[in-house]
Structure 1
């Protein structure tokens, strides 16, 4: 855990490095052969990451890569999202979500009505993001060569309606996943426009990935909470936070135990980002009975039963196996 203000300042300076500096260091990494005196747990040996990048991820649980996704691809994703909002395309299995504040008001079928689409693995335009070579080469540094795309989202954080419902509570993504090991899972999260504190950028607790999975539930917020937006139960900490300011095309990779969330969108625009959770195809499913994940298992089973007209005996792991898609290598387990 980071406690020293000086160390937190160094972290923020790393995030504030200009895109050119980050890009240059990444491209020059091909000639680097890392040499470490201690084994590294969270990253695998590779010819891409600089030693300082590996150590940064090992210590902090995230790594920001500037200007990784092209403007052309971002325009492609935004255009497809708008087509989905206008109901011009129908995507099997796609989950369309609205903010709890919007859900209680009148709306028209456009992008102002939808705050998130997830499980877009059957949409070729959006799933193109999960298959981008420049994304996968970084993902492989954390998962190994056999890579599954397990969970997909395009987030359209709305302007806050005055109820603070556009916030996302502090949470750990592993809470939602019935597969392990956690260290072979990573999220890629790409800004589709500038993301900063005014429109609700990611807020992270550096180093929190070294902890354990905590209990999650819906927070008791006056304005209500969006569906599936679980947060850490009785969350309180003096752990310093870092706000991850990103430009269009920047991508952050982070560990599933990293505690993170996002603040309100206090602008008039919709803050957009696209993400995919990847896992090694060598990962395996676990039974979450008797663990802190029982509540999310029950909720997912109930949603799946309604969506697919099944009984609630559907297994939690089956809901994930249906969504997972191989994007590189062989499907060995998941």
Structure 2
């Protein structure tokens, strides 16, 4: 498959350092999170836990699923199962309440304890999602800010938790971030390849890639600019992303969010 993504958007010239485990996160690591907007950890899930999460996704990734499942146009979900079924899925959402292994993942003690410290509050799960990149055609998720998708008060802190279930590499679509952009406020988004920051506004010179082994995790601020390039390799790149906010965070009207981030650029151009 030929990618339509401008690959110059993802240089990968810099690679983020990894903290070994969540138990090794100390004051220096939390200070770095506040400054950079992200914290990458090499080992969170065991091999068995990562495999259980994949099996859990395959269980809910089916027609008539209680979760939200978006299949690629070419997929034949009634004829597939396991890894082959997941290869046909573009996006899964709202699955943790329907599958015990995914419920356990969203409640993982290492995640909850770390997010509570980053939020300085009791965390509540605001969203669960899996964006899957099959071999030879997993699509890009363009540069964006996650808070552009949440109808919550603008000042509410959001912590994203991106968990690699397969090895996430520079070639198969690992996460890329722009360190420090979480301190620069909301950016107008446009509906182009997705709801995204305009390509010409991406500060590519700040690009930092975050390759992770299976079971590795990236914690990041909801205003951090981030994206993932396409997977044009022969390997799978599957990941789960969870978002947490302080407990009892209220919902706000969609118009308030779009008034800040833009329904399609507001009064800006792209």
TM range (shorter): 0.7 to 0.9
Higher Cα Rg, which structure: 1
Counterpart in the other structure of 2:129: 153
Counterpart in the other structure of 1:112: 87
Kept in 1: contact 2:158–2:245 (CA 8 A)? yes
Counterpart in the other structure of 1:197: 170
> CA-to-partner distance for each residue in 1:67-124, whole Å, 9 max, x for gaps?
111222111111122233455xx642x111134xxx1576644222112211113222
The structure carrying a bigger strand percent of its residues is 2
Aligned equivalents of 1:253 and 1:70: distance in 2? 18
Cα drift, residue 27 of structure 1? 3.3
> CA-to-partner distance for each residue in 1:187-222, whole Å, 9 max, x for gaps?
111100110111111111010001111111222xxx
Cα drift, residue 153 of structure 1? 1.1
Match among 260, 264, 269 for residue 292 of structure 1: 260
> CA-to-partner distance for each residue in 1:225-249, whole Å, 9 max, x for gaps?
4xxx311135423542001010011
Match among 144, 157, 169 for residue 171 of structure 1: 144
Cα drift, residue 266 of structure 1? 1.3
Matched, 1:233 2:203: no
Distance 1:239 1:75, change over 3 A: same
Cα drift, residue 251 of structure 1? 0.7
Cα drift, residue 285 of structure 1? 3.0
Matched, 1:210 2:183: yes
> CA-to-partner distance for each residue in 1:234-291, whole Å, 9 max, x for gaps?
5423542001010011111000000000111011232101121000014333334361
Cα drift, residue 134 of structure 1? 1.0
Counterpart in the other structure of 2:71: 98
Distance 1:181 1:142, change over 3 A: farther
Kept in 2: contact 1:112–1:158 (CA 8 A)? yes
Aligned equivalents of 2:103 and 2:151: distance in 1? 22
With normalisation by structure 2, the TM-score equals 0.80
Q: Which has the bigger relative contact order, CA under 8 A and spacing at least 6?
A: 2
Aligned equivalents of 1:286 and 1:252: distance in 2? 27
Aligned equivalents of 1:85 and 1:234: distance in 2? 32
Distance 1:121 1:281, change over 3 A: same
Q: Any gaps of 5 or more consecutive residues in structure 1?
A: 1-7, 29-48, 220-224, 297-334
Q: Any gaps of 5 or more consecutive residues in structure 2?
A: 1-11, 265-270
- Which SS does the other structure have where 2:206 is aligned? coil
CA RMSD of aligned residues (A): 2.6
Distance 1:27 1:142, change over 3 A: closer
> CA-to-partner distance for each residue in 1:129-177, whole Å, 9 max, x for gaps?
110111101010122342210110122212344xxx7111100000011
**Aligned residues between the structures:** 244
Matched, 1:144 2:131: no
Match among 110, 120, 139 for residue 134 of structure 1: 110
Match among 41, 46, 53 for residue 29 of structure 2: 53
Counterpart in the other structure of 1:299: none
Matched, 1:250 2:225: no
- Which SS does the other structure have where 1:54 is aligned? helix
